[in-house]
Amino acid sequence: MTIKEIAQLAGVSSAAVSRYLNGGYVSEEKRGRIKKVIEETGYQPSAQARMLRTKRACLVGVVVPKINSESISRVTAGIEQVISKRGYQMLLASTDNEPEKEISYLKLFENYPVDGIILIGTVITPEHRRFLKETGVPVVVVGQYTRYANCIYHDDYGAGKAMGKVVASAVPDGKKAAYIGVTKSDKAVGGAREDGFREGLKSAGIELEEEYTRKAEFTMDSGYRAALDLLEKKPDIGTISCATDTIAAGAIEALLAYRKKDVPSQVKHSGTRMEYVLSDSAVKVTGFGDNQFLKAVTGGIPTVHFGYKTSGIRGAELLLDVIERGEKIPVEMKLGFRLVNE
């Protein structure tokens, strides 16, 4: 089926159908008729023909650190929501948190006929910076601040500081605050969150002592091992704060395993929250990310909600503005946060 045939069935001109397909102006009445015919016929415009007309492939490359992450799925859902409405398709590449793979995929997309790239960033290496400075393809970085590309990022420092203040008010007398972070190479999750958390504790007169800190990977298993090591070596812990909710889930499992008791005797319900009992006191676990699966299992731990889907939406809108309108003004957009179950 051709544009001419769609136009005849809808009772409009071929030019009107072409404008509709390319996002141009069409009156609401004609737009409705064209849409109805397209839906009834199942018409799909030729990608090759569209590329010749618009000089664009209508493809966006999206590079993500991993696909089995609730936060990443929220970001990609926001991206897909925007680009599909604007007539684009998404090519998704997952890197398993390996910076070298990120560079490989960025270069692959650069040489593939994509109109732009969205990088959901973790670590910005010198190779990343070199690519961002030299590439001729529009790029938007989501999740990390960088001055080498348009970026949408979260207030990780502010969120860490707010959580530090919450934890400071909850540490029992005679107990210590512990923290499980990630590599500082990740400026947002590993650097800004921990720095903010320390400052939040400090504002209440509490220091985060180095021997009460551990580093983990972005996995539940790594959180489990880090928390178990803390518990075995530091029995005076009152709170364990984690850089992500996934790590926090592992810490909760470690608390249960540490006491080797049945779950009913381990868990004390307090409103919608759960505290995990060690001896005659309770250890509170906190995280970042507002993971809905963890919430369903535990009833909700103190955590931070970030606008992950919003970041995907804003990132996709920004990229398409550059692609379609040649927008040249650099954009650095910081999104806020909300404390949950504090």
Q: Per-residue pLDDT tens for 185-225?
A: 999 999 999 999 999 999 999 999 999 999 999 999 999 99
Look at residue 207 and tell me if it is in a domain: yes
Confidence check: pLDDT of 282 > 90: no
Give which of 239, 181, 184, 238 is closest to 213, Cα–Cα: 181
Mean pLDDT over each residue of the chain, to the nearest integer: 88
Higher pLDDT, residue 281 or 121: 121
Shared domain check, 109 and 182: no
Amino acid 43: pLDDT: 77
Give which of 291, 311, 312 is closest to 223, Cα–Cα: 291
Whole-angstrom Cα distance, residue 259 to residue 257?
Answer: 6
Amino acid 51: pLDDT: 52
Confidence of residue 54 (pLDDT cuts 50, 70, 90): low
Look at residue 223 and tell me if it is in a domain: yes
- Token digits for 266? 């381990």
Query: In this structure, what CATH number is given to the domain that contains residue 185?
Result: 3.40.50.2300
Whole-angstrom Cα distance, residue 176 to residue 81?
Answer: 44
Secondary structure letter of residue 212 according to DSSP: G
Shared domain check, 126 and 219: no
Residues 38/6, Cβ–Cβ less than 8 Å: yes
Shared domain check, 104 and 167: no
Look at residue 266 and tell me if it is in a domain: yes
Confidence of residue 56 (pLDDT cuts 50, 70, 90): low
Confidence check: pLDDT of 234 > 80: yes
Look at residue 50 and tell me if it is in a domain: no
Look at residue 187 and tell me if it is in a domain: yes
Look at residue 82 and tell me if it is in a domain: yes
Amino acid 266: pLDDT: 46
Which residues, listed in sequence order, are joined to residue 214 by a DSSP beta bridge? 180
Question: Which residues, including other chains, have CB under 8 Å from residue 114's CB and lie 6 or more apart?
Answer: 57, 59, 60, 61, 91, 137
Shared domain check, 166 and 126: no
Confidence check: pLDDT of 335 > 90: yes
Whole-angstrom Cα distance, residue 165 to residue 18?
Answer: 57
**What is the pLDDT averaged over residues 84-91?**
90
Interval 262-271: pLDDT, tens: 444 444 544 4
Which structural domain range is residue 31 located in? 3-45
Shared domain check, 298 and 188: yes
Amino acid 261: pLDDT: 46
Q: How many structural domains are present in the chain?
A: 3
Shared domain check, 30 and 73: no
The number of beta carbons lying within 10 Å of the beta carbon of residue 219 is: 17
Question: What is the percent of the chain with per-residue pLDDT over 70, rounded to a whole number?
Answer: 89
